[in-house]
Chain A
């Protein structure tokens, strides 16, 4: 069982809401779900779609063929009918589309009429549509109604009743209209955890002790701001919307200096403004987590599309030389754990950590069987209260063997916490002394980076490890490359190596030897210039043999990727 559902329509028609609700229903049915969206940079109109893939097995990328097309406008029919699979069906309402579709694979369900008859507003036609999709798929009725009830529970009994009725009517109508539909779902299983990349990062931050968040809204990072804000009271976290990204990062640095775990999130243009502050965090050794949700650039680029072309920007951002850590999770689950690791390392080494995400990861929803909360870490590494007061001769930037100085919380002791964006002495006061300058650079850069490298995990290796061909990838291409490898493995020995901890790279041990032995290294990147290949060569001297790039703002599809990998191995 492996179906895909595409919901198409104009912005403002509720495409995203319908998609998210269906994802919840499938997750509640115990199915594996992967969803991604394609939307335009406008509030109303245009063409948007939300695509969901469901399976009994884990899924992490879209497939190109569509089994159910739910069309809210004629444009969706026109654009996506060619994508229909052999068993594909189009669900639509001729009243909403203002036309009847002659294609024999289409089912006309009166969503709008149902909404009006059940006494709901016209938008309740979306609920009827959700019901219809569930009907032809054979989703258990009580699961559909349970999710619909939950969604409207806050709005009172009457709203719940109307929407439940609309969902049922859509469900029943579709079953009758589609007697020949071949779709079958397995018996319900324990519910799965459904989570998007943005949610995973926000939740990962909150469970790591995030107390202060400041940001400026920017697609596709805004979901993080919204999610943290939504849960801020529950977790005891302050969320402040800043006047610009410069203010956001400086507020976060201030809050972190004053003793709380802090984070900001943005996208390319916003990160460009934050670069000055990033350098400040490096100089003042202030812990800080920055999420850089990439989008295609330069400048404003394609605001709502996907690309991963800020790796080298993140690596070189900031004037001067200082330690930093860069992560690029491949799935929401990795995003959750890596955010926790980001907070841990940021505070342990007093360095900025940048988490690279992209629109594809940020807005996609995945399902997982479990979330291993026991593997999370939380250690308060700041000097507070009595343990701070009892320090003798406290100096904020004290030279130590590790390069890590005591991070005192100002006001908790009679000691003073002093830091400076100018070069400073151990106490934190301005200096131009040659020897001090040299030692401070060594402390901030070499000593810390050496220790940090020991904390970095090796890349994930998958597939036929003995094969003489390996595909390299990083960040959110994990899922699609993995599925491509699975398909190729049926006829051809191949392996993949996925990097999620990008900088510093792990110690050149096993993984580098593994790569060096391969006859062909094929590097897959969602950008034009193979930035990771450059980083790898710069850090290790290892050159890849082939590059596969996609930079049209759309994610790789499995079928397309398989073909392109084959082109390099045959």
Chain B
């Protein structure tokens, strides 16, 4: 029997009270409840406080570069689609440096689970604005207030017709755990934006700020209706919806690649002699 102990990693070096703790706990519990063993999971992460996530649980890990989480995860998934592949990123990591990769990962639809720890601020570099920081917020790097409008990641994902779009909140850990489980069960690219208050640098979007606004998406919400999902995604202000916004069944990238029809790439034996005879044939070598 799997227990939470199987997923016990290094002691986190996050600030006390950080929203990441709830995400870590929700992730570990989801894995235990789904019965997925650590060695069947690969977590790919980038840089930032979220990037350290895989060290604090226990799975195969590729902690790569800032913003490059999704291409690495895609390479891993294509090489071995029998693995459960998670991409873990922060809002700066995924929506800033890695924005282009997010767009194209959604277009490809590999069966990868993306969790974005969205605290609307750059924490590791000490408090600069991120792509999701509200307009007007003052920081050391934005002394006149943040000038750009914040990105709406959920609306972006729906606009790109991502096959699974959800938002979680670190202040609702049980619901977050269920969302992670749903994301894993979904066949295709699962996009999970997680609101995660930064207790050190974000004085605006605090736990209490969220608690006043966050509400769970009604059971009656038609998750297969893209227009309705988009409407829901535009709600941000006095009321902030969390839960599954949109879901669509479509073939995954792996399913569309003929070479992967029978088994994962990594299990396909390379026959050196066969390859040599193919070269002989192609190049007319006697």
Q: List residues of A whose CB falls within 8 A of some B CB.
A: 191, 193, 195, 203, 206-207, 209, 211-212, 214, 231-238, 240, 242-244, 246-248, 250-262, 276-277, 280, 284, 370-371, 373, 376, 378, 380, 409-411, 413-422, 428-430
Contacts and interface: CB of A to CB of B under 8 A. Distances in A.
B73 A234 contact: no
Contacts, number: 189
B41 to A, nearest CB: 9
B264 to A, nearest CB: 9
A415 B265 CA distance: 20
Given A254-B76, A257-B72, A420-B63, A207 B279 contact: yes
Contact of B64 (A191, A280, A376, A416): A280
B282 A203 contact: yes
Nearest to B260: A238
B75 A262 contact: yes
Interface residues of B, number: 56
Given A212-B79, A242-B71, A253-B75, 16 more contacts: A206-B275, A206-B278, A212-B265, A246-B68, A250-B64, A250-B65, A250-B68, A254-B72, A258-B42, A258-B266, A409-B80, A410-B83, A411-B42, A420-B55, A428-B61, A430-B55
A17 to B, nearest CB: 19
A236 B259 contact: yes
B76 A255 contact: yes
Nearest to B74: A251
Nearest to B81: A258
A415 B59 CA distance: 9
Across chains A and B, which 4 residue pairs bring their CB atoms closest together, nearest first?
A: A254-B75, A258-B79, A250-B71, A251-B75
B117 interface: no
Interface stretch (B98-106, B182-190, B193-201, B226-234): B98-106
**Which label, helix, strand, loop or mixed, suits the secondary structure of the A interface?**
mixed
28 contacts: A193-B284, A206-B275, A207-B275, A209-B272, A212-B265, A233-B258, A234-B278, A235-B278, A236-B259, A240-B74, A247-B68, A247-B71, A247-B104, A250-B68, A253-B72, A255-B78, A255-B265, A257-B79, A258-B42, A258-B75, A258-B266, A276-B65, A376-B276, A409-B80, A411-B42, A417-B60, A418-B60, A419-B61
Nearest to A378: B272
B79 A259 contact: yes
A191 B284 CA distance: 8
Interface of B: 10, 37-40, 42, 44, 47, 52, 54-55, 58-65, 68, 70-80, 82-83, 100-101, 103-104, 257-260, 265-266, 268, 270, 272, 275-276, 278-280, 282-286
Contacts of A246: 68, 71, 101
B240 to A, nearest CB: 31
A257 B285 contact: no
Contact of A212 (B72, B75, B101, B104): B75
